[in-house]
Structure 1
Amino acid sequence: MFSLAPTWLWLVFLVFVVLALVVDFVVLKKQGAHEVSVPEAIRWSAIWVALSLAYNGLLWWGFAEAHGPEVGQTKALEFLTGYLIEKSLAVDNIFVFLMIFTYFSVPAAYQKRVLMIGIIGAIVLRTAMILVGGWLISQFHWILYVFGAFLALTGIKMWWAADQEPDLESNPALKLLRKLMPVSPHFDGERFWTRHKGVRIATPLLLVVALVGFTDVIFAVDSIPAIYAITADPFIVLTSNIFAILGLRAMYFMLAAMAAKFHLLSYGLAVILVFIGTKMMLIDLYKIPVLVSLGVVIGILAVTMVWSVKTAPAIGGSKTVER
């Protein structure tokens, strides 16, 4: 596991992530429990995207100064492609979050805190998974074929399941959590624990946080190998993944209000997974250029989003689930 990234780029990245989380917590505490409006979500999404692109510019300059302009351009393209892939795959993740919140009737004012905690957990777990994945690839090159086949099969499965409503009640993680801890029938503000009939038990909000965490781990199994199909540099994999995660909360509130309009996105994501899996399996025969991969991902997303908007009034599909 080796990266050409200068040490100062690692330090800037770490400082940025810590500061971003601190600012997020301060803003969250100051605002208290409140429903995030679509305009607010759009503003924060724009801010996170702008910060990610600014860091990509810094990354390009850092690599170019240390290793030459060609390396700088390559690494910047790898970051942008990995970031876009992670953002794309996060869309399906967001639809599942929406399903969880709907199923448990989580008040909109409490959803922001749940997602904040979920983001912190995702950063920790994904960092560990990325490091493990990088070590496996460096030690066992053939595992790239396993990752590629897994992504392609996942994409095919996602395509066939795109029109099916997910059944949270049969989710094994939910069944396990209910067995492990008694849950109160009611929320108690933003608290995770409450007293019911004199006994200290979990609130539904704690159950929701645990399910969001489980969901992110499951989706990380898809998204992390997908970025390794673009680059073997652990620095690019980690930074593009984390920057995409930092903007996940704002992206959720923005897309949740428009879920029905993008009902075909699952098909597009399925095609992207199959493409990336195929790219990974062909890596020793023909390495598809990063710029081509970026163009394919953007093209697929653009087509599915435009077609979703055009057909939304006629189909009116949605991935929400009524309780």
Structure 2
Amino acid sequence: MSPGTILAAPDQGTIASPALWSITVAALILLLAIDIVLTRRPHEVGMREALAWSVFYLVLPVGFGAYLWGVFGTGVAVEFFTGYVVEKSLSVDNLFVFMLLLSAFAVPHELAQRVLLYGIVGALVLRAVFIALGAAALQSGTWAFLLFGVVLIVTAAKVLKGDDQHVDIDSMRSVRLLRRFIPVTADYRGFRLVVREQGRLAITPLALATVAVFATDIVFAVDSVPAVYGVTEDPFLVFATNAFALLGLRALYFVLRDVLTKLRHLNYGLGVILAFIGVKLVLHWAHGLWAWVPQIPTLASLGVIIAVLITVTLTSLYADRRTASAAGGGDEAGRVRPLEREPVDP
């Protein structure tokens, strides 16, 4: 029996054998450990470094998808790539909120990558929890598809409505709680989260920023996990798409931090994608009850998602160019930013 056959041995409800799960989790931990080592020295990330790591984290899912294609066939690979595109597009919104938080806490540029790394680790842990809960819900009955679909449609409606939500640090319960019971230093102390001052333990602003980023992770996990379950019911593929999408966020942040504010129509695109997947889930639930109800194929879903992302990117660039021409290139008035979700504390 070949190694590929061992790894391909299917388990109940998933393509992955325990061996493939173990290898994937071990590789994820190794990559996070490498990130921690590389960020141990505070430094501002340059564009060349950010681009190199972004390309690396783009090649990884492509190679993994090719492996799935060769071992499990076209259907599984298409589900993986579709889920990855969904998660990656939603992670751009995640990055925008991270950018607002880093600005609100005045995090020094040389410390930003460590805060982002903490946020990614927190997001991975939360996604794993939500993925397990989602898998349990799906095993209990098809009603979970209806629930996930409604959640995504409601979220899409809020996004498309364009509610003006901003990050308000002082209103976050977790931050207020920490400030109430633990002294906070007046300045940053490198990567240190906790220090001792005048015989008492105190936390640094870096700790507050980390808590705020972790709180936003909860909001995004609620949306992203049901979204990818709309593409595949396999918990392993759901976990893999989330992991690959999140791993490259730190590097992608430094590549896109000056571009994000120019994608003024991104929130509408994400709203359309969430609504589309929500409808797909509802149709899937209804098809289980009434066979005549049509379903949306995964390959068609991939085409729709890519088309939406390309469309909002082009329209954003066109609108930005028109605004710059009309205002002499310096007027930011009327710009519609990507979704700014108010962090919600657990």
TM-score surpassing 0.5?
yes
1:237 is aligned to 2:238 = yes
Query: Does the aligned pair in 1 maintain the 2:126–2:217 contact within 8 Å?
Result: no
1:100 is aligned to 2:106 = no
2:13 maps to amino acid: F
1:287 maps to amino acid: Q
2:298 maps to amino acid: V
Query: Does the aligned pair in 2 maintain the 1:6–1:62 contact within 8 Å?
Result: no
Alpha-carbon displacement from aligned partner over 1:11-47 (angstroms, at most 9, x marks no partner) = 4322321221222222223xx1011122321221111
Q: Which moved more, 1:161-170 or 1:274-283?
A: 161-170
Equivalent residue runs for 1:115-126 within 5 Å: 115-126=116-127
Q: Give me the whole-angstrom Cα distance separating, in 1, the residues matched to 2:216 and 2:223.
A: 11
Q: Give me the whole-angstrom Cα distance separating, in 1, the residues matched to 2:69 and 2:93.
A: 30
Alpha-carbon displacement from aligned partner over 1:87-136 (angstroms, at most 9, x marks no partner) = 11111111111111001100010011111122222222211220111011
Alpha-carbon displacement from aligned partner over 1:275-323 (angstroms, at most 9, x marks no partner) = 1111111112322100111011111111111111222241743569xxx
Q: Give 1:39's aligned residue.
A: 48
Q: Give me the whole-angstrom Cα distance separating, in 2, the residues matched to 1:222 and 1:10.
A: 24
Identity across the alignment (%): 40
Alpha-carbon displacement from aligned partner over 1:63-93 (angstroms, at most 9, x marks no partner) = 1xxxxxxxx1111001001111011111111
Going from structure 1 to structure 2, the CA distance change for 1:126 and 1:165 (only over 3 Å counts) comes to: closer
Q: Give me the whole-angstrom Cα distance separating, in 2, the residues matched to 1:108 and 1:193.
A: 20
Q: Give me the whole-angstrom Cα distance separating, in 2, the residues matched to 1:311 and 1:235.
A: 40
Equivalent residue runs for 1:259-278 within 5 Å: 259-278=260-279
For 1:282, what is the secondary structure of its paired residue? helix
For 1:194, what is the secondary structure of its paired residue? strand
1:226 is aligned to 2:227 = yes
Query: Does the aligned pair in 2 maintain the 1:9–1:59 contact within 8 Å?
Result: no
Q: Give me the whole-angstrom Cα distance separating, in 1, the residues matched to 2:233 and 2:177.
A: 36
Point out where structure 2 has 5 or more consecutive residues left out of the alignment.
Answer: 1-11, 288-292, 324-330, 341-346
For 1:232, what is the secondary structure of its paired residue? coil
Please report the TM-score for the alignment, with normalisation by the length of structure 1: 0.90
Alpha-carbon displacement from aligned partner over 1:146-176 (angstroms, at most 9, x marks no partner) = 1111111101101223665444443444334
For 1:231, what is the secondary structure of its paired residue? coil
Q: Give 2:37's aligned residue.
A: 26
Alpha-carbon displacement from aligned partner over 1:163-203 (angstroms, at most 9, x marks no partner) = 65444443444334433533222212221122445432111
Give the CA deviation at 1:242: 0.7
Query: Does the aligned pair in 2 maintain the 1:162–1:267 contact within 8 Å?
Result: no
Q: Give me the whole-angstrom Cα distance separating, in 2, the residues matched to 1:296 and 1:147.
A: 19
1:40 maps to amino acid: E
Q: Which moved more, 1:166-175 or 1:214-223?
A: 166-175
Give the CA deviation at 1:5: 2.5
Q: Give me the whole-angstrom Cα distance separating, in 2, the residues matched to 1:136 and 1:116.
A: 30
Aligned residues: 310
2:300 maps to amino acid: V
Query: Does the aligned pair in 2 maintain the 1:9–1:62 contact within 8 Å?
Result: no
Query: Does the aligned pair in 2 maintain the 1:162–1:266 contact within 8 Å?
Result: no
Query: Does the aligned pair in 2 maintain the 1:134–1:234 contact within 8 Å?
Result: yes
Alpha-carbon displacement from aligned partner over 1:241-282 (angstroms, at most 9, x marks no partner) = 111111111111112121222121111111111111111111
Q: Give 1:294's aligned residue.
A: 302
Match 2:320 to one of 304, 307, 312: 312
1:60 maps to amino acid: W
Equivalent residue runs for 1:1-323 within 5 Å: 2-29=13-40, 32-63=41-72, 72-161=73-162, 164-283=165-284, 284=287, 285-313=293-321, 314=323, 316=332, 317=335, 318=337
Q: Give me the whole-angstrom Cα distance separating, in 1, the residues matched to 2:38 and 2:179.
A: 32
Q: Give 2:4's aligned residue.
A: none
Q: Give me the whole-angstrom Cα distance separating, in 2, the residues matched to 1:251 and 1:91.
A: 9
Q: Give me the whole-angstrom Cα distance separating, in 2, the residues matched to 1:172 and 1:268.
A: 31
Coordinate RMSD, CA, aligned: 2.0
Going from structure 1 to structure 2, the CA distance change for 1:34 and 1:53 (only over 3 Å counts) comes to: same
Q: Give me the whole-angstrom Cα distance separating, in 1, the residues matched to 2:109 and 2:34.
A: 21
Point out where structure 1 has 5 or more consecutive residues left out of the alignment.
Answer: 64-71
Q: Give me the whole-angstrom Cα distance separating, in 2, the residues matched to 1:87 and 1:165.
A: 22
Query: Does the aligned pair in 2 maintain the 1:78–1:230 contact within 8 Å?
Result: yes
Q: Give me the whole-angstrom Cα distance separating, in 1, the residues matched to 2:190 and 2:70.
A: 47
Give the CA deviation at 1:143: 1.9
Largest Rg, 1 or 2: 2
Query: Does the aligned pair in 1 maintain the 2:183–2:201 contact within 8 Å?
Result: no
Going from structure 1 to structure 2, the CA distance change for 1:275 and 1:77 (only over 3 Å counts) comes to: same
